């Protein structure tokens, strides 16, 4: 195996394998780099190949193993293939970070049907697909030091914001999905949590 899943070391995540959706830019990239610094092998996914490869190069400079896996989380088939590729290349999966998201703002009656579908498919259904296909692998490694799912939400899901109706609703639904999965997977020793980054100042001003 490329990574010795479950073995401890001097760093907090030594022996862990993490898959981070939307890991080539923004918050996802920051998570990937932080995990790598703590010794995790990291798979990052996204639709654009160039930022994924750039982030992999940065991770490798830190001395950690990293792979880029192209895919669209709105596709159930792509989600399944991303999990399979992570396991094949890194030897397992102990941490799934559902970070990828799409935000498009405007009054509901001015929001295209395509934009509504894209936000719901990416922000909610994508996390569901990724978690579904990751569960068997996470359970496999849960007793060897724990396994976890981390969903990335938004503070905009916690309060009403003008022109955020679709985006905020898709992320608010992610809260309930997280609670349900935490209960569902607890007996298998798989933790499921969510964090809500604070919306950027420019977004808050749109209230």
Positions marked catalytic: 167
* Dihedral pair phi/psi, residue 15, rounded to 5°: 90, -5
Instruction: Tell me which residue has tokens 């009403």.
Output: 160
Q: How far apart are CA 110 and CA 19, in angstroms?
A: 35
């Amino acid at each position: 195996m490329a990574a010795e899943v479950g073995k401890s070391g001097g760093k907090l995540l030594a022996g862990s394998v993490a898959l981070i959706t939307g890991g080539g830019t923004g918050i996802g990239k920051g998570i990937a780099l932080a995990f790598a610094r703590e010794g995790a092998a990291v798979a990052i996914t996204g639709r654009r190949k160039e930022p994924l490869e750039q982030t992999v190069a940065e991770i490798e400079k830190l001395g950690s193993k990293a792979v880029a896996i192209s895919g669209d989380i709105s596709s159930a088939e792509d989600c399944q293939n991303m999990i399979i590729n992570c396991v094949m290349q890194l030897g397992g999966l102990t941490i799934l970070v559902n970070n990828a998201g799409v935000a498009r703002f405007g009054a509901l009656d001015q929001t295209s049907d395509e934009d509504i579908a894209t936000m719901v498919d990416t922000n909610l259904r994508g996390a569901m697909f990724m978690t579904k296909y990751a569960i068997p692998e996470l359970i496999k490694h849960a007793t060897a030091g724990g396994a976890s799912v981390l969903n990335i939400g938004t503070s905009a899901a916690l309060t009403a914001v003008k022109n955020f109706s679709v985006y905020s609703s898709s992320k608010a639904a992610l809260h309930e999905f997280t609670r349900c999965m935490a209960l569902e997977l607890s007996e298998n020793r798989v933790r499921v949590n969510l964090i809500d980054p604070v919306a950027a100042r420019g977004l808050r001003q749109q209230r």
